[in-house]
């Protein structure tokens, strides 16, 4: 069996488009959320960071 020939430039462009689309979707979701939702999301991120820091070795 032979592998499929792929144009690497095209693959990179597709990956970049997908990443851009993903970022745009996340951004639009964030801009449409209420203040309470935004605060909850920020609190969860802070809690996760704090929990991660607590498990750190010195």
**pLDDT, mean of residues 30-45:** 89
Mean pLDDT, the chain, integer: 90
pLDDT band, very low/low/confident/very high, at 10 (cuts 50, 70, 90)? very high
For residue 41, what are the contacts with CB-CB under 8 A and spacing of at least 6?
30, 33
Q: Which helix (H) or strand (E) holds 23?
A: helix 8-31
Which pLDDT belongs to residue 8? 94
Quick check: 5 pLDDT over 90? no
Model pLDDT, residue 49:
94
> What is the C-alpha separation between 46 and 52, in angstroms, rounded?
10
Tell me what percent of the residues of the chain surpass a pLDDT of 90.
Answer: 55
58 exposure class (CB count in 10 Å sphere: 0-12, 13-18, 19+): exposed
Task: Determine the longest span between alpha carbons in the chain, in angstroms.
Answer: 56
């Amino acid at each position: 069996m032979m592998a499929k020939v792929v144009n690497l430039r095209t693959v990179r462009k597709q990956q970049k488009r997908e990443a851009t689309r993903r970022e745009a979707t996340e951004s639009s979701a964030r801009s449409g959320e209420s203040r309470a939702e935004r605060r909850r999301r920020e609190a969860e991120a802070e809690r996760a960071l704090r929990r991660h820091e607590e498990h750190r070795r010195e």
